[in-house]
Structure formats: structure tokens, C-alpha cells
Amino acid sequence: MAILLALVAAAAYGFSDFVGGVFSQRVSPWAIALMAQLGGAVVVFAVAVFVDGSPTRTDLLWSLVAGLGNGFGTAFLYRGLSSGRMGVVAPVSGVGAALVPVAVGVGTGERPALLVWVGILVALPAIWLVAREPQASAHGRRRGAGLGDGVLAGLGFGTLFAALAQIPEEAGLLPLALNQVVAAVAIVLVARALRAPWVPREPLALVGMVSGCLGALAAGAFLVATHGGYLTVTAILTSLYPAFTVVLAATLLREHVHRAQALGLGLCAVAVVLVAAG
């Protein structure tokens, strides 16, 4: 069940990024990111009312850490998107988002089976190949310029995964909703510091709420998955979300899947099989 929920989280994150990416080309990506977090917060708060839970102060502190990671990860990812460095930021952030919780899981005593470790080692290049754009390799200066954004985004998303995993089932969904609110505040602060337009002035920015609902679903599925499985396993499977984004773009937008991405998709499938078998 943990593996299935982690894959649901990956699919929801992939769909969320697809929606956000499409509409970020038409309105401010910062406005889309902000509306996504606020939309997700509203949905989770509404559901949390009907879900039993008694979060402790520690649980709320972990949700605060998760929200900061979520917000800063999203902010630097969107900075890469808005500056045309997505081909570098996406793969670096994807690998970082996987490595941070794996390191935390191992550090807290998790010891997955050998096949799972092989699956994790296969998943890392798979994430890189799927998320990477071929034209990024032709611009060395652009690749170097985007590296910092990718590392910061990866640390942010990795912190999100690692912190959410510390919240027990008894806490309910309120910490998840708080994570979304804190992320929205973090996005505004970073956007203001960078003097980027973040106020959702265009009506089309409201579509970001769709992306936010999908992101909230993904975070919820990941949170529940961590209650029944290793963080190392759930995090690495959830981090395969770029594969779903690529498949959606190829299916719905008829975008070309280049050779490296196709190889990455194949490696994603192999990684899932190995992790499930282990």
C-alpha cells in the first residue's frame, strides 16, 4: 500500500507540475505558485475538519519546516522556470528531492533490502534523464547558472519530504494544511526579495488552484505512505514525478520525447519494479 500511495503521490505531483507549467507560460509563474499553495491549503483545511487528529507542538513545528522547504523549493524552481533555466533546474532539483529524504531515512535507522537499494540507484539517473532538456547541454554557461537554483530547489523539496515523514498519523491533516500556508508565505517573501511579480492580477492565475489541489493530494498521499513504509522507499518513488509530467506533455500536448527522456522513462519503470520486489 505504501508503494501504491507513493506512486499516486508521484502521479499527482506530475499532473500538478504539468498544469502549473502550461499556465506559467501565460501568466506570472510566481502568481501560479502562490495560488497553488493557497488553493491546496483551502482544500486540506476543508478535509481536515472531518478527519480526527490531535497534532502536538512538535508536529506543528515539523509542518512549519515542511512548509518552508515546500515554499523555497517551489520559489527557486519557478525562478529557474521564469529565467529559462528549467532544463538544468528540474533534473538537479529532482535528484536533490530524492537524496535528502533517503539520507534522512538511512540516518534514522532505515535499512531497505538490497533490491530496494538497486532500485534507488536506478531511480536517480532516471529522474535526471526524464527531467533534463536536451538543449541544456548545449549551453554550458546556462547550465552553470541554473545549478544554484536546482540545488536550492532540491534541498527545499527534500526537506518537505523528510519533514512530512516525521508527522505521525495521530496528528491528522492540520499540519499538512499549515505546511501549505507557510509555503505560500515563503513564496511571497522570496518573490518580493527578487522583485518578481507575484500578485495574481490575471484571472487565469486562478488555474493555479487546480495545480495546488493536485499538489495537496500528492502531499497527503505521501504523508500516509510514510506511515506504512520506509521514508527511503516512499521518497524515491514520489520523486519519480517528472516521468508523469513528461508522459502527460507527450500525450496531451504532443511534445516530442527525446532519446534520453525515453531511456529515463524506462529506468523509472525498472526502479519501480525493483523497489516493489524488494
* Average confidence (pLDDT) over 235-246: 88
Q: Band of the pLDDT at 167, cuts 50, 70, 90?
A: very high
Position 82 scores a pLDDT of: 60
Give a three-class secondary structure readout of the chain. CHHHHHHHHHHHHHHHHHHHHHHHCCCCHHHHHHHHHHHHHHHHHHHHCCCCCCCCHHHHHHHHHHHHHHHHHHHHHHHHHHCCCHHHHHHHHHHHHHHHHHHHHHHCCCCCCHHHHHHHHHHHHHHHHHHCCHHHHHCHHHHHHHHHHHHHHHHHHHHHHHHHCCCCHHHCCHHHHHHHHHHHHHHHHHHHHCCCCCCCCCHHHHHHHHHHHHHHHHHHHHHHHHHHCCHHHHHHHHCCHHHHHHHHHHHHCCCCCCHHHHHHHHHHHHHHHHHHHC
Mean pLDDT score of the chain: 86
Considering only 70-74, 104-108, 148-152, 233-237, which range has the smallest mean pLDDT? Answer: 148-152
Q: Percent of the chain having pLDDT more than 90? A: 37
Average pLDDT over residues 244-259: 84
- For residue 128, what pLDDT is reported? 86
pLDDT at 86 (0 to 100): 59
Tens-digit pLDDT profile for residues 51-69: 888 899 999 999 999 999 9
pLDDT score for 134: 64
Share of the chain above pLDDT 70, in %: 92
218 — pLDDT class (breaks 50, 70, 90)? very high
Domain coordinates in residue numbering, the chain: 2-277
